[in-house]
Amino acid sequence: MIKVAFYDAKPYDKPSFENCGEPRGLQFRFLETKLNEDTVELANGCDAVCVFVNDDVNAAVINRLYKLGVKLIALRSAGYNNVDVRAAFGKVHVVHVPAYSPYAVAEHAMALLLTSVRRIHKAYNRTREFNFSLSGLTGFDLHGKTVGVVGTGKIGRIFIDICRGFGMNVIAYDRYPAEDSGIAYVPLQELFRRSDIISLHCPLTDDTRHMIGADAIAAMKKGVVIVNTSRGGLIDAEALLEGIKERKIGAACLDVYEEEANIFFEDRSGHILNDDLLSRLISMPNVIVTSHQAFLTEEALTNIAETTVSNILSYFEKDGVCDNELCYRCGNIERCKKERKERCF
């Protein structure tokens, strides 16, 4: 029996992981708390830990996991910016779920965009109070608009397909352009300058952190709509707020927020929100915030559980090689030069 400490467990996580993992020899210790330096001891006696986007898997946590005998960190997400992969190298192996339901995230991005530009959320609130006035609900057609897509992995390309279905003009930026994709790639600054709508679908790295900042916003069209379903740190939230106040940004659709770790995924309705910046953003009439729910579909939850369980079993039951391992050794974390023929260490 492989014992797994499952941190930041939510009610919607348990059924899929129990159904997929327990028949295959995994025993989950579901913990509501997030993994950090104060809670790492809860993994004592476990072979692996399963973590999500807001668990803090820093060097100190990794060192303690290593001393506790934990051999594997299994992310149940694609992003891994919350894990110090460099510190893990040589001590604890790290695996992730590179794709669970790219359709879920891409569709949510479009749902946010449509809700914003057609004022659907405002109309819903009005009609609930039997107010059927159309004043202030004028939107604009997506057809013919230019959308700039930053990041053309699986999610970004599905979002592009959706946009093309609406008759939108698509331009894109990616450090590693997809060959023979038919996508019109442009430099990032040109994308900022030309786009009516900008949607972010790239990972958070040192190079992409705050890629949407004051300078980028200054280069954008007046009235630009920004959509972010990737990672909050891609956007400098203070610069975003200033751009909204200055009427430069027409709307912002956010499923993620840089300081979301102690806010999202929890019911804060009975409490005063201490994050003034988030409070001000939410108060803006042209800002829509959802709490990191783009992934949350039945299909995605099933795929996340199946891939995570397979990742764990591939380490403990086979030859120890996992296609989804994150390795610092090669300097190309997701595209290991060893082509997964053997363990990275």
Q: Which residues 6+ apart lie within 8 Å of 72 measured at CB? A: 47, 48, 49, 92, 93, 94, 95, 312, 315, 316
Catalytic residue among 292, 306, 334, 339: 292
Catalytic residue among 157, 231, 258, 325: 231
Annotated catalytic residue 93: no
Tokens standing for residue 76 = 């149940």
- Give the amino acid at 43: A
Evaluate whether 108 touches 293 at the Cβ level (below 8 Å). yes
Q: How far apart are CA 47 and CA 26, in angstroms?
A: 10
Evaluate whether 264 touches 293 at the Cβ level (below 8 Å). no
Annotated catalytic residue 231: yes
Tokens standing for residue 67 = 């001393």
Annotated catalytic residue 260: yes
H/E segment holding residue 73: strand 72-75
Catalytic residue among 260, 266, 299, 339: 260
Q: Is 203 exposed, middle or buried (0-12, 13-18, 19+ CB in 10 A)?
A: middle
Q: Which residues are catalytic?
A: 231, 260, 292
